[in-house]
Structure 1
């Protein structure tokens, strides 16, 4: 018997009896994946950073400094962020292992070191996971979190709670788009994203994907997660804004004919940044794994060029070093 979606709600456009979908048109055609793989192999893509990987690390990486007690946000590389609010720690999409893969010997390999280790954290209160892909939901990292912080609260999109409970998580909340949970001083909303999910050849789109809006002690933060651009995303600031902090993807966009339905490029991220009223925005989804055809050093260069061309304030949206932090008092 075919798998049936136990959370199916026929009133919701992103639900199907077999799982979940994007309301937007699917831009990929049959055979596109094979075409992309063939083209990138023929061209030897992706190319290394212009000055090599070691120079890239020297320019764009530093160990995360968790000293002090003030509220802050850290970018830990790729889509991983750490928030400290009211002395509580929230980790988002932690993928700190050596590969974004179900295998230890094959799959996208980390090109820059992890900015911290799970055991470096003085405490961990909650973990937000945007979707099931291996560069966002990393079992080696989750296993370490459960070992060091067994009472941590996982907040995940609809359909992922069984995965966490099966692996020993004690407290898991799963949310559909626009649903929320309040955890002490923090209110957390699951919001739409234009993406997809899969961990095995048999579970494509059986769990939902999402972004997160976090409201806590003077910060209203939109973490987009993995998402292609869509005007439907503008409903998020209309309903839950205005935001004083955002994290938008600026990497894994090439070639655009293949990636645009699931990842934003810098132009699209800038357009969204402007639509939000230009809050402090962290560029994410670059700098660690080579998941598409652009080199690791292309996203920050292109983002800066496009921000200058649009005559926008680069202090509000420019590349951070992996491991860098910003006190939340500086975002207003």
Structure 2
């Protein structure tokens, strides 16, 4: 739904499109984020289940190899939506967050309940970073500063997010792209693709920067990283299957989905994630966006439990879709 009035956009100025009204970005045929009154209704509803102060991973911190070559594909969970993808000799990070909090403040906001699954000092050389949108649990400027200093990677992000990143991290190699763009990078092609979400860093910049998922295409197969998304009747999953023909791996969010009346348009639940895996024709899927930052109402272990139930109800083997924990390493089978 497009905005009904024009708002000065501090991040991006460009031509109107099917998802940009000349002022704000929007989800075609979709639903905008809830109003402030809805946010207050949720916050004061009393439905949030308390999380433990610590939720340590059963996996020790990973110490990745420098490179993974040939047709191999290795995935390592850092935490939340931060994962290391190693394939075709490339090291790719998604939505990297090594900070203690997903917040504009160092002293308040959602705090990690487990350590990153890879110690920052143990990262292999990072070539490429995919930043899906500007919410604090996905775009962490402090981490990008560290990565710029230690690795000098290229960052690919949707339109408008470059204005936020470049001001905070001068000298960072950075490309901002629209839905449908393709970027060739060494042995890979990166496709920027639509998802159903929104963006904001504060109270006055809603939908001024675009949100997206990514498809990483190499000789080892295609990988779909959905970033953060609502199910949106499966529209974007069907589009991915039609455009890309299926995936060796899909990295899909499975957490931060309750209460449904408020979260459903923007955050899919585990049952929807399983449907998404099927619709986009992914051979394997990794569940992320759960168990690290307490963002919504559901209990900490519920996403993994509901994922297992959803797979069983669809008669799908559990090894096809893992709810990944920090430090977990998965060598994705060939297809």
Report the TM-score when normalising by structure 1.
Answer: 0.91
Q: Which runs of 5+ in 1 are unaligned?
A: none
Q: What is the CA–CA distance in structure 1 between the aligned matches of 2:114 and 2:183, rounded to whole Å?
A: 34
> Which runs of structure 2 are paired with 1:5-24 in the superposition (5 Å)?
6-10=12-16, 12-23=17-28, 24=30
Measured after TM superposition, the shift of residue 153 of structure 1 is 0.6
Output one character per residue of 1:67-105: Cα deviation in whole Å (capped at 9) or x when no partner: 374341212111111112232211110011100001000
**2:83 pairs with 1:57:** no
Question: Taking structure 1 as reference, are residues 307 and 122 closer, same or farther at Cα in structure 2, changes over 3 Å only?
Answer: closer
225, 229, 232: which one aligns with 2:231: 229
Q: What is the CA–CA distance in structure 1 between the aligned matches of 2:244 and 2:281, rounded to whole Å?
A: 13
Is the contact made by 2:240 and 2:280 (CA closer than 8 Å) also made in structure 1?
no
Partner of 1:67: 65
Measured after TM superposition, the shift of residue 218 of structure 1 is 1.2
Partner of 2:194: 192
Question: Taking structure 1 as reference, are residues 120 and 30 closer, same or farther at Cα in structure 2, changes over 3 Å only?
Answer: closer
Q: What is the CA–CA distance in structure 1 between the aligned matches of 2:186 and 2:128, rounded to whole Å?
A: 11
> Which runs of structure 2 are paired with 1:112-127 in the superposition (5 Å)?
112-127=114-129
Partner of 1:246: 250
Question: Taking structure 1 as reference, are residues 196 and 27 closer, same or farther at Cα in structure 2, changes over 3 Å only?
Answer: closer
Q: What is the CA–CA distance in structure 1 between the aligned matches of 2:190 and 2:294, rounded to whole Å?
A: 30
How many residues end up aligned between the 2 structures? 321
SS at structure 2 position matched to 1:34: helix
Is the contact made by 1:119 and 1:148 (CA closer than 8 Å) also made in structure 2?
no
Q: What is the CA–CA distance in structure 2 between the aligned matches of 1:122 and 1:317, rounded to whole Å?
A: 26
Report the TM-score when normalising by structure 2.
Answer: 0.90
CA RMSD of aligned residues (A): 1.9
Question: Taking structure 1 as reference, are residues 69 and 128 closer, same or farther at Cα in structure 2, changes over 3 Å only?
Answer: closer
Partner of 2:277: 273
Q: What is the CA–CA distance in structure 2 between the aligned matches of 1:191 and 1:182, rounded to whole Å?
A: 15
Measured after TM superposition, the shift of residue 6 of structure 1 is 4.5
SS at structure 1 position matched to 2:44: helix
Question: Taking structure 1 as reference, are residues 37 and 214 closer, same or farther at Cα in structure 2, changes over 3 Å only?
Answer: same
Measured after TM superposition, the shift of residue 278 of structure 1 is 4.3
Is the contact made by 2:127 and 2:153 (CA closer than 8 Å) also made in structure 1?
yes
Is the contact made by 2:225 and 2:252 (CA closer than 8 Å) also made in structure 1?
yes
Measured after TM superposition, the shift of residue 111 of structure 1 is 0.7
SS at structure 2 position matched to 1:326: strand
Q: Which moved more, 1:165-174 or 1:251-260?
A: 165-174
244, 261, 284: which one aligns with 1:257: 261
